[in-house]
Structure 1
Amino acid sequence: MARPPLFQRATVTRIVKETADARTYVLAPEEGSFSYRAGQFCTFKVNVDGQELFRSYSMSSSPDTDTELMTTVKRVPGGKVSNWMHDNISEGDTVELTRPAGLFCLNETTVPLLGFSGGSGITPILSLAKSALATTDRRVRLLCADRDRASAIFDTALDELVAQYPGRLSVTHSYDVEDGYLDAAKVLAFIGDDAEGDHYLCGPEPFMAIVEEALPGPGRVFAEKFGAAAQSIPGAEDQPSPDSITPATGATGAAELGTVKIQLGRKKVEIARKEGETILDSARRAGLSPPFSCESGNCATCIAEVLEGSATMRANNALDDDEIADGMVLTCQAVPDTPSIKVQYD
């Protein structure tokens, strides 16, 4: 079955000012509505000063409660993409983005959902909370850490949800300027008797480290980190990326073990395979400029179809089982495990 183009166009129908430095973009895809799951994200492609940049932003909407697709972007000091979007995108403009991807999603269970958000990390947490409340009987408890009250995103939306689901949803705020920085003791106090719940974490690395180290178990932990593996990628500020993933680099000087055939648009190349080298690195070594962003198996920008041979992905936080069964791989993580392989980018 033919796969739709990786990047599609959508019209920005509305822009909502959430805080002084956060905007929600309401999107209407040109090819009809996107199918997505709560907690997923889209990768945007923008051109800033002649440079093509990619950036992944989580949906703040939920497919179970919202009729519109919404993604929320926080302005980051020095962030090329977030600042460009805030300064240049207006209602009625068209943007390019991938179909939704990511595995930071709800699992079928009855245990409480505990969400831990730092700053703009509330975006996918809000989406998850809305779906959990609307489609299950689970209790939902959120711990939201922000610099101050003025910088807290979605305060009104959270208050409305608490009023809509009394007894099932509770929100605890922690403001640095009023309460001091979040620490392990505050995390443990928040968890209380719900250690067996599903814990969803999203936010900057220092916040994530504090929460993860404090979690007592035995509950499952699902983490969507910001900035862990994309610092060298232009425009990848606050890029969500999985825990403990190191981007693979080319194995320069390694033994040649077959061939890698790559088709990108009208370009076709064949290059000797090197031990431990990802398909993305092989493509770049062959002189191609394939799409990529996070290089950590998270954003699905580098997706390609394996036509011959096979490859194993070191990490995958974007493709589901059906897509893998159809031969799709994340080339930044896919290492060939057959002597020769042939892939085709969308």
Structure 2
Amino acid sequence: MTTYENLTCPATASAVQRFTDPTTWGTFGTQWHSGEQKNLQCYAVHQETHDVKTFIFRCADFSALSFEPGQFITISPVIGGQTLFRCYTLSSSPTRPFAFSITVKRVPGGAVSNWLHDNLKPGGKLKASGPAGSFTPVGHPATKLLYLSAGSGVTPLMSMTRAACDMAGNLDIVFVHSARTPADIIFHAELTRMQAAMPGLRVISVCEGLGDTAQWQQPIGRLDLPLLSQQVPDYKEREIFTCGPQGYMEAVKTLLREAAFDFAHYHQESFDITALNEEPLIEQAATLDQQDVFTVTLSRSGKTFSMLANQTVLSAAKKAGAIVPSSCSQGVCGTCKTALLQGTVEMNHNGGIRQREIDKGLRLLCCSKPTSDLVLDL
């Protein structure tokens, strides 16, 4: 079973360079492209808190996985005879590539999170695509880092911290995590051990209340500018990475604006994880004489349908009955990546596709609107 007990943190002269160099992470396993599906087998499940579990996987062919700390995969379980797609951040470190994990909070009414908690056991199998995502310290060299998270937003920052502890022990990291109560702090025991093992790591937990905890020595309340200034007085000198519910991330940005922080050194997860269970926003209505109308042909099925210029190709294809894998609908996860065989689109993505993939003719259908008739590889 993969564990992070008895960590050692060797400091190397090029620790920061290794940690932030994109070529580093390709050395820890086979390349798993964001549009490629793999068969995964679950071989361990850990209960983190009363409503959070970690699911540890390995590839069915026992191959290693190469990813950057902070990236996510898109799993596609079959639930009730229907394939659903959801993005989950890899909470494990890429320095341990043969076993990798996602850490999932049970969401009331969430089809996939509840299915995972209730049904996925060691030995269970599912398919996944990925890794993908640009929320990573790779490419942002810095010796001083500040990680700000709330709730299950801790997962990408945990991956970054585990990676730093494994291979870059001379980084200066302050990890500030917000939770409802001490019992709701995900990875609390492990972070405490890591802090003892890694001289450059300081962990601060901020809880809204005590819950059933009788004694608590860390801050009570919510993160605000006075608390941040007190706990991390040099925060303006640090590269900041933030992940959590949308309201939390907006509050962090507001307090940093108040402090005149230089946002060139600020990074946050580019999509609201809770929004992944919602349907995409309904597009603005338009009559046929107000918009250009284009014809879309699906080369494999032979299906043809018409769509308006203000529609995304994904939404139009789904309305026409086409089966297109998708998850975030925000141009982040890469699940709907499809080859454009003919025609042109206007695509505004959020990091879910690489330039070399665009050069090969791939497009993200969720954030592409037609500028001509199209032929898709579907």
Question: SS at 2:242's partner residue?
Answer: strand
CA distance in 2, matches of 1:138, 1:247: 41
In structure 1, list runs of 5 or more residues that go unmatched.
234-245
In the alignment, the residues of structure 2 paired with residue 248 and residue 8 of structure 1 have an alpha-carbon distance, to the nearest angstrom, of 32
What is the deviation of 1:253? 2.6
Aligned-partner residue type, residue 61 of structure 1: S
Residue of structure 2 in register with 1:108 after alignment: 140
The alpha-carbon distance between structure 1 residues 306 and 188, as it changes in their structure 2 partners (threshold 3 A), is farther
Instruction: Look up the SS of the partner of 2:76 in the other structure.
Output: strand
TM-score normalised by length of structure 1: 0.85
Tell me the equivalent position of 2:180.
147
The separation in 1 between residues aligned to 2:305 and 2:108, in whole angstroms, is 41
Tell me the distance in 2 between the aligned counterparts of 1:251 and 1:102: 31
The structure in which a higher percent of residues are helix is 2
Change (3 A) 1:121 1:273: same
Report how far residue 5 of structure 1 moved. 6.6
Q: Higher strand proportion, which one? A: 1
Q: Distance in 1 between matches of 2:67 and 2:129?
A: 11
Instruction: Give the 5 Å matches for 1:120-139.
Output: 120-136=152-168, 137-139=170-172
Q: Partners in 1 of 2:262 and 2:232 — Cα distance?
A: 12
Tell me the CA shift for residue 126 of structure 1.
0.7
**The one of 79, 93, 106 aligned to 2:110:** 79
CA contact (8 A) 1:11 1:95 kept: yes
Secondary structure class of the residue paired with 2:341? strand
Partner Cα separation in structure 2 for residue 289 and residue 334 of structure 1: 17
Q: Which residue of 2 aligns with 1:21?
A: 51
- Paired residues, number: 327
For 2:325 and 2:98, how far apart are their aligned partners in 1?
30
Q: CA–CA distance in 1 between the matches of 2:318 and 2:352?
A: 22
Supply the distance in 1 between the matched residues of 2:352 and 2:164 (Cα, whole angstroms): 21
Mapped pair 1:33 → 2:77: no
Cα distance between partner residues in 1 of 2:225 and 2:249: 11
1:209 alignment counterpart: 250
User: Which 4+ runs in 1 deviate beyond 6 A?
Assistant: none
2:228 paired residue number: 187
Deviation at residue 9 of structure 1 after TM alignment? 1.6
The alignment-based identity, stated in percent, is 30
Separation in 2 of the partners of 1:99 and 1:46? 14
Q: Deviations over 1:196-239 (max 9, x none)?
A: 42211111122222111111321422212434644534xxxxxx
Q: Aligned partners of 2:366, 2:86: CA distance in 1, in Å?
A: 16
Give the 5 Å matches for 1:304-319. Answer: 304-319=338-353
Task: Go from structure 1 to structure 2 and tell me whether the alpha carbon gap of 1:28 and 1:298 turns closer, same or farther (over 3 Å shift).
Answer: same
Partner Cα distance (2:254, 2:243) in 1: 14
Q: Which residue of 1 aligns with 2:262?
A: 218
Is 2:335 aligned against 1:301?
A: yes
Pair 184,231 (structure 1): closer, same or farther in 2 beyond 3 Å: farther
| Change in CA separation of 1:87 and 1:258 when aligned onto 2, cut-off 3 Å | closer
Select the structure of larger CA radius of gyration: 2
Which stretches in structure 2 are left out of the alignment for 5+ residues?
1-32, 211-219
CA distance in 1, matches of 2:164, 2:298: 42
